[in-house]
Chains A and B, each alone.
Chain A
Amino acid sequence: MIDLTAELHRYLGFDSFRPGQREVLENLFAGRDTLAILPTGGGKTLLYQLYGAITHQRVVIVSPLISLMQDQVSRLQYLGSKRVVAITSAMDFQERAAILRNLNHYQYIYVSPEMLSNRNIFEMIARQSIGLFVIDEAHCISEWGPDFRPDYLRLGRIRHQLENPLTLMMTATATQRTRDDILNRMGFTATGVKQLVLPTNRSNIFLSAKICANLPEKNEQLETLVKELNGAGIIYFSSKKQTEQIAAMLSQKTDKRVMAYHGGMDNQRRFLIQQQFMNGDIDIVCATSAFGMGIDKENVRYVIHYHLPDNIQSYVQEIGRCGRDQQPSLAILLYEPNDQYLQQNLIANTIPEEQLLRYLYQHPDKLQNNDAFRVIKYYYDIGKTVDQTLAIFDQAKSRRIGELNALIQYIYTTGCRRKLLLQHFDETVEHVDPEFCCDFHTDFWGNWRQFNQQYLKSSETDQGVQSTDWHQIIDKLFLLKN
């Protein structure tokens, strides 16, 4: 029997597991395929990293987040593994060819589902012996999940073609329906897979929402909060441009150090801002949902949503980035009535209209090599008629609108927010601490300053000011040896 705690200490330097980690590893070492639903910050990366470290076997991780895959590589390197590589469509031909030629040198291989559907890449991966096949963000497999990706549907077949390696499917949030769908599409039976579902509830995060009359009032509210809230914070937006505009506004009007972050920035800039945030050189990041994956900051005290998140599942994931240190933290959703229309527009833009769909069915050559039409191409390729595909998209649209309505309901609820949020994941709350739950139980908005003083503590490590004197900088950078 392996002493997992000793191995954890040996390879990664930690003394204890987070909830659920040990159980997942025990299942894997018993050779059982596993579906793990662990909350954000629950340490999902550690699961396959430690499994790989102990067994010295190769781990292939299928991840849908192409733009963030490099962050995942960095994160694994940060945690001590060096033979890590990502194969994504963002690479140029030469880079990809060089990686594929040397694939056997890597122990951890990240690959996007689209890349894995490429015959050449699949064959190269299939030639390697695979100790563990990991499907990250497994909710993308499910059409009931919010981020459905057609290439994920091929994963069941791909796993079979890889001769059914031991498989770990992971996600932070999934409803029962989504979980059933994941297993079904991967070709598992409910009894053939060990399921480990950890509670979504994060009792150290206080939940609140504020309905503002209009945009100026929302901006004013944001400014007031940012001026006074203690500690590090993340503000989420659904528009890249707005991250920059609001970051500039907050820098100007408050004494907080605020920077914008989004996927459209170059690697170097994104890296710098992450580093600064982690080191406490900046207080607040105005970000799109791209922010969070590559950082491991324990003491984020609050998350504010300036725009509506995509759905309740995303919301829970995003607010999960505060309070990883288990200290009291705060989630605020700011809303003004027009936000609803912004979200409706986003939904309308991501789901193709009937006219376009019919045109593409008549001109299928236009479906080739166009990422925007990937989902349509998938249905076209598997032989769905145009009307069937239309019906699928209508259904998707209704689902997205349903999800939006659920969010609006969360905002306007006159009951306990936590209860409502967790209902979505078929969870109930056993013990509510009315003092620290949500703005239903206490007059949070009348007393938020007091709440701030009482619960949100600035971290001492976040008070630093970076020197700009070059002598000091180079003295700091290099520890000299005699």
Chain B
Amino acid sequence: MDLSTLYLIFGDANQDRRAKAIKNILDGRRTVSNLYWGLEYGLLPYFGALHDFDLGDEQAAVDTLNKAGLATVSDGLLYRLSSRGVDQQNQFQASVTPLNELATVAQYDIVRFSRRFIFAVQVVSEYSYSNNRYYPQTIGFFDDQLIKRWFIQNKQRNLSNYFHQLLQQFLSGLENDQLADIFAASLTGHGFSGLTEDQLAVQTDLEPTIIQLNWLKLYSRLFLLLNKDPETPLQLLLTGLTKPLMSGSAKQTFDLFVSVRQPDPATIAQLRKIKLTTVYEHLIEAAIELPLEQFPYQRLLHKQTITNLRQAAPVNVGEWQFKAAKAQIADLQFFEFRLFQISERKKGDND
């Protein structure tokens, strides 16, 4: 995918945004820093949504925007959209609207679902023509086996009529025919090879990245639709696609923390045989990922610390630097500072 297009879509005209962090957020690099910036930029719902794509180099992408007058760039690869950048952003967003549907890609492995679906279409399509001489796709050993098993279990169910009807309904229900054409071009089967995103881009006059984002959006929609139907013959294709909210290790730390009688990060570190700093990182990850009321801020932040932080905090707490805060509150820990920022941000969002 073209990173400069993504930077436009996920950029802002009122906030300098860290190019590296945005790339890492979309790629799903689970560090406390990336998660925090995801929260701060309102991009947490898209965390890891584009993990399966090659996103390219951030410096080159930012330079492209800068040269085209679409963004201004400052040290540390911070960029801010210009008014022309915002126009372009609006155009792009209009062709992937509503953007928030991409959040499904962060919750479920939609790329994997689309590969399974496209492979299933190929198998059913060729079967409907009684053709067993074709090059099957390969989508990884386990999913190849899954499709095989699914097909053996379901081939008596007149799948060709089912797929035709499903797609007829799904595609005619989309906002416009162009979207339906874009979706249909992702399929492959008997007598139809399908198109790559760049071939489709030429035909539709859209950016290849926009085509790919639309595919993700439409496959997300199809996934949710099928997921609601307990009778669908495609049930097996929907299994094992949920992405965990937190890393396994962070979840273990958090679960332990809320289950022990007197929770204390140092005790958890001992129990889990991990470093204390790792425990802090895991707890910050949990605080970022969980709704405000599900995280025990009061157990980790003393009332006095909160009062001190509130008194010293600038208007924009999100951009507040730890160094500046520490200068005002001498015994402040980074962990406390970050938790405070997270809780303030979440309160703001709730309001």
By the criterion CB–CB under 8 Å, are B141 and A474 in contact?
A: no
Contact residues, B95-151 vs A (CB, 8 A): 115, 121, 124-125, 128-129, 132-142
Q: A447 an interface residue at 8 Å Cβ cutoff?
A: no
When chains A and B are docked, how far (Å) is the Cα of A73 from the Cα of B144? 12
- Flag if B181 contacts A275 (CB, 8 Å): no
Min CB gap A59→B, angstroms: 19
Chain A residues near B184 (CB-CB < 8 A)? 468-470, 473-474
Question: Which residues on A sit within 8 Å (CB–CB) of B22?
Answer: none
**8 new A-B contacts at CB < 8 Å, known A268-B139, A271-B137, A469-B181:** A75-B135, A79-B133, A91-B141, A99-B141, A267-B137, A275-B135, A466-B193, A477-B163
B348 at the interface (CB under 8 A from A): no
Q: CA A79 – CA B184 in complex, angstroms?
A: 28
Q: Residues of B with Cβ closer than 8 Å to A?
A: 115, 121, 124-125, 128-129, 132-142, 158, 160-161, 163-164, 167-168, 171, 177, 180-181, 183-185, 187-196, 199-200, 203
Among candidates A77, A94, A278, A480, residue contacting B164 with C-beta atoms closer than 8 Å: A480
In the bound complex, residues from chain B placing their C-beta under 8 Å from that of A80 are 132-133
> Is there an interface contact between A477 and B196, defined as CB atoms closer than 8 Å?
no
List 14 A-B pairs, Cβ < 8 Å.
A13-B133, A74-B135, A99-B141, A271-B137, A275-B188, A279-B193, A281-B193, A467-B192, A470-B181, A470-B184, A474-B163, A476-B192, A478-B189, A479-B190
Across the A-B interface, the 7 shortest Cβ-Cβ residue pairs: A470-B184, A275-B193, A479-B128, A473-B184, A95-B141, A470-B180, A478-B160
Contact bitstring A57-91, B, C-beta under 8 A = 1, else 0: 00000000000001001110111100000000001
Whether the Cβ atoms of A477 and B192 lie closer than 8 Å is: yes
Chain B residues within 8 Å of A474, by CB: 163-164, 167-168, 171, 184, 187
In the complex, A481 has a CB within 8 A of chain B:
yes
Which chain A residues lie closer than 8 Å to B180 at the CB level? 470
> Chain B contacts of A278 at CB under 8 A?
135
**Is residue A40 within 8 Å, beta carbon to beta carbon, of the partner chain?**
no
A78 and B203: CB pair below 8 A? no
Q: What residues of A have a CB within 8 angstroms of the CB of B121 in the complex?
A: 477
CB–CB A272/B133 < 8 A: no
Kindly provide the distance from the CB of A99 to the nearest chain B CB, expressed in whole angstroms.
Answer: 7
The residue among A13, A271, A273, A477 with the most chain B CB atoms within 10 A of its own CB is A477
Cβ–Cβ < 8 Å partners of A467 in chain B: 192
Q: Is A21 an interface residue (CB 8 A)?
A: no
B131 closest partner in A (C-beta):
A479
Q: A98-B142, A271-B135, A474-B171 are in contact. Are A481 and B192 (CB under 8 A)?
A: no
Nearest chain A CB to B147's CB is how many angstroms away?
12
Q: Which of A261-313 contact B (CB under 8 A)?
A: 267-269, 271-276, 278-279, 281, 294
CA distance A478 to B188 in the complex (A): 11
Whether A476 lies near B134 (C-beta < 8 A) is no
A268 touches B137 (CB 8 A): yes
Q: A98-B141, A99-B141, A470-B183 are in contact. Are A476 and B136 (CB under 8 A)?
A: no
Across the interface, do B191 and A279 meet the contact criterion of CB distance under 8 Å? Answer: yes
Q: A470-B171, A481-B160 given as contacts; is B187 within 8 A of A269 (CB)?
A: no
Candidates A78, A98, A477; contact of B189 at CB < 8 Å: A477
The minimal Cβ–Cβ distance linking B274 to chain A, given in whole angstroms, is 24
B142 close to A481 (CB less than 8 A): no
On chain A, the residues within 8 Å of B135 by CB distance are 74-75, 77-78, 271, 274-275, 278, 294
Complex: A317 Cα to B250 Cα, angstroms: 54
| Closest B residue by C-beta to A265 | B196
Which of B163, B191, B193, B195 has the most chain A CB atoms closer than 10 A to its own CB? Answer: B193
Contacts of A274 in B (CB 8 A): 135
Q: Complex formed: what's the CA distance from A250 to B184 in Å? A: 27
B125 and A478 contacting across the interface, CB-CB below 8 Å:
yes
| Alpha-carbon separation in the docked complex, A476 to B187 (Å) | 11
Q: Is the CB–CB distance between A479 and B132 below 8 Å?
A: no
Complex: how many Å from CA A294 to CA B135? Answer: 9
Whether A473 lies near B160 (C-beta < 8 A) is no
Q: Are B164 and A275 in contact (CB under 8 A)?
A: no
B136 contacts across to A, CB distance below 8 A: 74, 77-78
Tell me, in angstroms, the Cα distance from A348 to B135 when the chains sit together: 38
- Asked if A269 contacts B132 (CB within 8 A), the reply is no
Chain A residue contacts of B124, Cβ below 8 A: 478
Cross-interface CB contact of A272 among B132, B158, B164, B196, cutoff 8 Å: B196
Is A481's CB under 8 angstroms from B183's CB?
A: no
CB pair B129–A267 under 8 Å, yes or no, is: no
Given A272-B196, A478-B164, A481-B160, the answer on whether A473 and B187 have CB atoms closer than 8 Å is yes
B193/A479 in contact, CB under 8 A: no
From A74, A272, A468, contact of B193 by CB (8 A): A272
The answer to whether A473 and B138 have CB atoms under 8 Å apart is no
Residues of B contacting A294 in the complex (Cβ-Cβ under 8 angstroms): 135
Q: Which residue of A lies closest to B195 (CB)?
A: A466
